[in-house]
Chain A
Amino acid sequence: DAGVIQSPRHEVTEMGQEVTLRCKPISGHDYLFWYRQTMMRGLELLIYFNNNVPIDDSGMPEDRFSAKMPNASFSTLKIQPSEPRDSAVYFCASTRDRDNSIIGTEAFFGQGTRLTVV
């Protein structure tokens, strides 16, 4: 199993530019999560999908952030326009139902994308 694959691993961009982060979940997983990790706020959930449908996007900081999941094997997180305060490590994670519930299932995380906005 290849695990959750994120790209790019590192991204440096200038303020105002559009940034797109990509994620390929583990095959067969029907839940996908985007997390952001910063020193100030720790790990916070931005959005998650179930069967490609966004379920909870209450963690998305503002309209500059958008996420899509066009199919079961691909998701993007886009920031437009980017700002220095968006600098963070962005993690994608996936998991699957177990007995019609994911409450007890562990999420498998990708290696993250370290975003730096200058």
Chain B
Amino acid sequence: AQKVTQAQTEISVVEKEDVTLDCVYETRDTTYYLFWYKQPPSGELVFLIRRNSFDEQNEISGRYSWNFQKSTSSFNFTITASQVVDSAVYFCALRILTDSWGKLQFGAGTQVVVTP
């Protein structure tokens, strides 16, 4: 069975600090995709990034960066120089090829609180 673990329930930082969110996944499949979503206080889920199991290249988008390591089954997310607007719940999710194709398996989420 597939599983996504986000062990950090809440992380509090002061503005301009960096924050890293951990995501560990479990699957026996060799083909899968990983996703990160952001849920701001307004409630909607906003897509941030996807990564397929064959692409371990790290990615940077502005202040966001992602570190994918198959050897440790991790897909961690770093916010550099955090801002108050980054305060949200962040979800890591997994979709595998052989499962019901539509099913995104979400982690429990990590609440990020950025204070001025």
Interface residues of A (CB under 8 A from B): 31, 33, 42-45, 48, 50, 55-56, 58, 89, 91, 93, 101-104, 106-112, 114
Chain B positions within 8 Å of A112 at CB level: 43-44
Which A residues lie within 8 Å of B46 (CB)? 109
11 A-B pairs within 8 Å (CB atoms) are namely A43-B109, A48-B100, A50-B102, A55-B101, A56-B103, A89-B43, A103-B31, A103-B97, A108-B47, A109-B46, A111-B44
Could you tell me which B residues sit within 8 Å of A by CB distance?
31-33, 35, 37, 42-47, 50, 52, 91, 95-97, 100-104, 106-109
In whole angstroms, what is the CA distance A109 to B35 when docked? 14
Which of B42, B43, B50, B107 touches A106 (beta carbons < 8 Å)? Answer: B50
Instruction: Tell me what chain A mostly uses at the interface: helix, strand, loop, or mixed.
Output: strand
How many residue-residue contacts, CB under 8 A, span A and B?
Answer: 59
Q: Complex: how many Å from CA A55 to CA B52?
A: 24
The residues of B that contact A114 with a CB separation of less than 8 Å are 43
Contact of B43 among A104, A107, A111 (CB under 8 A): A111
Can you name the residue of chain B whose Cβ is closest to the Cβ of A49? B102
Task: Report chain A residues within 8 Å CB of B106.
Answer: 42-44
Q: How far is the CA of A93 from the CA of B44 in the complex (A)?
A: 11
Complex Cα–Cα for A32 and B32 (A): 20
A-B interface, 8 closest residue pairs, ranked by CB to CB distance from nearest: A109-B45, A48-B102, A43-B106, A106-B47, A56-B100, A111-B44, A104-B33, A42-B108
Smallest CB-CB separation from A47: which chain B residue? Answer: B102
Is the Cβ of B101 less than 8 Å from the Cβ of A101?
yes
**With A104-B33, A104-B50, A104-B52 in contact, do A55 and B102 touch (Cβ < 8 Å)?**
yes
